Structure 1
Amino acid sequence: MRFRLHLFELEDQAWFPHVVRQGMMDVLRFMITALGIYKPVVPLLLKGLAHTRQTQLVDLCSGAGGGIQQVWQELEQQAGQRFTITLTDKFPNVEAYRFLAEQTKGALRFEETPVDATAVPDSLTGFRTVFSAFHHFRPQTATAILADAVRQNQGIAVFEGAGKRWYELLLVWLVFPWAILLLTPFIRPFTWSRLFYTYLVPLIPLGTIWDGTVSLFRLYTPEHLEKLTAAVQAPHYTWHIGRARHWSGTGVIYLVGYPS
């Protein structure tokens, strides 16, 4: 898929029920972690961190923290040193963040107040990451996210847990529904609302399938990302853009940038 269609995602809509949005994000967090989607990009992230001499990361648009705990574990294991990550979002999923903070004994921190990825407070310093969320933004806003990192002289890494291939649509349509029904009872932290909106009123599986489909059409290809970085006009930054291969055969689209 070389084209990009910016169709609407349910979780982006202000009217969409927050409890269903949280349930959808919890499902994605569980599946991303279970499949180890972002393991292949950890070496790329480590290179950026080493170049900027950072051990503090600021995760933007964290959602429910999909895969971030696993990324943190892999960072520490592969680098042999401590890292801390601050989770932020325009609509913070505080319950999920507290759970992750407890699981990591505070290595994963979080901001309870909304954080705009295009205007990150100066007090939030660290190498910025965006997992599974960059496609939510139109080109002008996506460029503004990169430009804000450049303005504050911070490194930034963008990762999308798909390769924008046609066969990935079949995974969303044929595998996701059954996976959600089978895995939901095992998702933590446990909530009755997640069970209700999965099995009795199936808004979570239906919403996840719809948003998953739209996300694939919305994804920026590496060629799109090159145009976005060119629009930022930051010749003093080094940009690495491409696809990292996942064991399942899908890809992870990535962009890593930092001051040269």
Structure 2
Amino acid sequence: MNVRLQLIELEDQKWFPHVIRQGMLDFLRFMISKLGAYKPALPLLQELLERTSQRHITDLCSGAGGGIEGVQQALSQRIGTTVRVTLTDLYPNLGAYRYLQQTSGGALDFIPEPIDATAVPESITGVRTIFSSFHHFPPPVAKAILQDAANNRSAIGVFEGASKSWLEVLVLWLFFPVVIVVVTPFIRPFKFSRLFFTYIIPLIPLGILWDGTVSLLRIYTPQMLHRMTKEINSPDYNWRTGKVGARLGKHVIYLIGYPVE
């Protein structure tokens, strides 16, 4: 799928009900964590940490923190010391962040105030990451996020858990309705609103199917990301794009960038 369509995702809209948005993001976090979707990206994250001699990640556009707990644990094991992660978002999901902070024993923390990925305060340090969110941004905003990282000499890793294929669209529509119905009671933290808007008024499943389809159509291919980096003013800064992973559910499109010392 070499086309990118800037269609409308419901969760991006200010008018979209917050309770439905959070239900959708909680499902995404649950599935990414259970599938270990970002396991193929671990060597790339380790490279960014080691190249910059850091043990701290600032996650931008965190949503509900999908998969980040497993990433933090696996990175800490690979490196041999605790990697700390700070979650941030323009619309912070504080309930999910507090839950992750508690279950991680404090290895994951968060900033409760809104953080704009195009203008990250200089006081916020660490290797920047964006998981499953970069496709939300049209090219001018996406480039502004990369430019802000380059301006601050901050390493950044952008990761999308998909290979951008029509097969993934088919799997989404054929299997995810069943998956949503089965797994929803097991998503934590528990919320009655999530059950109500899944089984009584199924706005969360409908939102997941719509936004999931639009997300696949909006994801940037490695070639698109490579062209984008050519438009970033970033002297003494290395960019690399590509795709890792060998099977469905384990594909990751990535872009990494880091300053050259």
Question: Post-superposition shift, 1:201?
Answer: 0.5
- Structure 2 distance, partners of 1:250, 1:123, is 34
In structure 2, what residue type is equivalent to 1:242?
G
1:14-56 deviation line (CA, Å, top 9, x unaligned): 0000000000000000000111100110111101110001111
Question: Does residue 102 in structure 1 map to residue 105 in structure 2?
Answer: no
Number of equivalent positions:
260
1:121-142 deviation line (CA, Å, top 9, x unaligned): 1111110000000000000000
The residue that corresponds to 1:20 in the other structure is 20
- Structure 2 distance, partners of 1:42, 1:67, is 12
1:193-217 deviation line (CA, Å, top 9, x unaligned): 0000000000001000000000000
Question: Does residue 113 in structure 1 map to residue 113 in structure 2?
Answer: yes
In structure 1, what residue type is equivalent to 2:169?
L
- Structure 1 distance, partners of 2:108, 2:101, is 5
Tell me if the contact between 2:35 and 2:249 (Cα under 8 Å) persists in the aligned partners: no
Tell me if the contact between 2:88 and 2:111 (Cα under 8 Å) persists in the aligned partners: yes
Tell me if the contact between 2:87 and 2:111 (Cα under 8 Å) persists in the aligned partners: yes
In structure 1, what residue type is equivalent to 2:49?
L
Question: Does residue 169 in structure 1 map to residue 132 in structure 2?
Answer: no
Question: Does residue 9 in structure 1 map to residue 3 in structure 2?
Answer: no
In structure 2, what residue type is equivalent to 1:231?
E
In structure 1, what residue type is equivalent to 2:256?
V
Question: Post-superposition shift, 1:248?
Answer: 3.1
- Structure 2 distance, partners of 1:26, 1:93, is 9
- Structure 1 distance, partners of 2:234, 2:165, is 30
Tell me if the contact between 2:29 and 2:66 (Cα under 8 Å) persists in the aligned partners: yes
In structure 2, what residue type is equivalent to 1:222?
P
Question: Post-superposition shift, 1:246?
Answer: 4.5
Tell me if the contact between 2:37 and 2:250 (Cα under 8 Å) persists in the aligned partners: no
Cα pair distance change 1:109/1:172, threshold 3 Å = same
Q: What secondary structure, in the 3-state scheme, does the structure 1 residue paired with 2:19 have?
A: helix
Question: Post-superposition shift, 1:249?
Answer: 6.0
Question: Does residue 182 in structure 1 map to residue 196 in structure 2?
Answer: no
Question: Post-superposition shift, 1:250?
Answer: 5.1
Instruction: Answer with 170-179 or 11-20: which moved more.
Output: 170-179
Query: RMSD value over aligned CA atoms?
Result: 0.9
- Structure 2 distance, partners of 1:205, 1:175, is 12
In structure 2, what residue type is equivalent to 1:144?
A
Q: Which runs of 5+ in 2 are unaligned?
A: none
Q: How does 1:85-164 map to 2 (within 5 A)?
A: 85-164=85-164
Question: Post-superposition shift, 1:235?
Answer: 3.4
Tell me if the contact between 2:143 and 2:232 (Cα under 8 Å) persists in the aligned partners: yes
In structure 1, what residue type is equivalent to 2:209?
I
Q: What secondary structure, in the 3-state scheme, does the structure 2 residue paired with 1:58 have?
A: strand
The residue that corresponds to 2:43 in the other structure is 43
The residue that corresponds to 2:34 in the other structure is 34
Q: What secondary structure, in the 3-state scheme, does the structure 1 residue paired with 2:8 have?
A: coil
Tell me if the contact between 1:32 and 1:67 (Cα under 8 Å) persists in the aligned partners: yes
In structure 2, what residue type is equivalent to 1:244?
V
Q: What secondary structure, in the 3-state scheme, does the structure 2 residue paired with 1:232 have?
A: coil
In structure 2, what residue type is equivalent to 1:186?
F
In structure 1, what residue type is equivalent to 2:175?
V
Tell me if the contact between 1:246 and 1:252 (Cα under 8 Å) persists in the aligned partners: no
Tell me if the contact between 1:11 and 1:21 (Cα under 8 Å) persists in the aligned partners: yes
Q: Which runs of 5+ in 1 are unaligned?
A: none
Normalized against structure 2, the TM-score is what? Answer: 0.98
- Structure 1 distance, partners of 2:226, 2:9, is 24
Question: Does residue 76 in structure 1 map to residue 76 in structure 2?
Answer: yes
1:92-115 deviation line (CA, Å, top 9, x unaligned): 000000000001111101011100
Q: What secondary structure, in the 3-state scheme, does the structure 2 residue paired with 1:159 have?
A: strand
1:154-203 deviation line (CA, Å, top 9, x unaligned): 00000001010110101111111111100000000000000000000000
In structure 2, what residue type is equivalent to 1:251?
H
- The runs of 4+ residues in structure 1 deviating greater than 4 Å are none
